[in-house]
Copies of this chain bind each other. A is one copy, B any other.
Amino acid sequence: MTTGPVSDRGFGPARHAELALLLEVAGTPKPGNVDRKRDLSDLHFEHFLTGAVGSASGLRLAEDGATVGAAFETAVEGMSRQGGGNTQFGCLLLLVPLVRAAAAGALSPDGVTDVVRSTTVDDAVSFYRAFEHVDVAVGDPPEDAPDLDVRRGAGAESALREQSLTLFDVMERSAERDANAREWAGGFERTFRAAESILEGDGPVTDRVARAFLDLLTEEPDTLVVTNHGEAVARDVMDRAAAVSDLDAAEELAESFVAEGINPGTTADIVCAATFVALERGVPL
């Protein structure tokens, strides 16, 4: 039995992105998230498998050079064809520009920044429309911009066009309160950093994914936890993750978070994006 780097595997970026979705959900323990060992009450492992396969057409569009908005909306629409609801919306928001950058031979902070800065108002409209395919947990919009509430879906189109807001502009405005938007605005800093830790880690890739998840969780309040439970709980989650010494100890935390309904989903999005970068860079499978 041998393991080979990506160059031997011959997977394109879209296939690596689909595989990243699968390896992310298989990585265990990822406290509070669906993983190989745990389901949430309405959200099961098989919903994520189905969501990953459903996303593939949109990811392929991204590889083939479609606009970020069109590829993302197609991926989300395909992802939503299962009964669990939102499985991988945030992952796809990170993966689509990364796939575009990889397909252009520029999978780096600068390369992906070029991709996201090139987005247009049409991309922003597609992004808003994607919210119509699936229920996404989001916080309230800024008080001065109720017309840009993502929950308006396609209804926000005229406001976006009047204000000439590109998808990058939308992300930049959300960067302070949303960790995924912060990746867009800041060269996918945490994504690339976590990818290095996955590449340099030991053991099966799914263990590396789990360790990277725990490390990320100690760094910043998880956006989804803030949305659902508030800042104080999100800070407590960071402390509890920091107190965990290894994957065995994380098993207990995983049981606790599931029992308490704490789902650090945004951190899982970032580790999924990092897994994609690690696959592109040849992490052995």
Contacts and interface: CB of A to CB of B under 8 A. Distances in A.
A245 interface: no
Interface string A168-209: 000000000000000000000000000000000000111000
Interface string A1-20: 11110001111000100110
A235 interface: no
Given A81-B10, A83-B1, A19 B50 contact: yes
Nearest to A53: B19
B56 A3 contact: no
Contacts of A36: 36, 45
A42 interface: yes
A85 interface: yes
Q: Which bucket holds chain A's interface residue count?
A: 35 or more
Interface string A46-78: 110110111010000000000000000000001
Contact of A11 (B1, B45, B53): B53
Contact of A23 (B3, B18, B49): B49
A20 B18 CA distance: 15
Contacts of A50: 19, 285
A44 interface: yes
A206 B36 CA distance: 13
A139 interface: no
B83 A46 contact: no
Copies of this protein chain in the complex: 2
Contact of A81 (B9, B45, B47): B9
A46 B206 contact: yes
A54 B206 contact: no
A82 B56 CA distance: 20
A75 to B, nearest CB: 13
A22 interface: yes
Interface in A231-285: 284-285
The winner among A47, A284, A285 for most chain B CB atoms within 10 A is: A285
Contacts of A54: 9, 11, 15
A227 B56 CA distance: 37
10 contacts: A9-B54, A9-B81, A19-B50, A22-B52, A23-B46, A26-B45, A36-B36, A37-B37, A46-B206, A83-B284
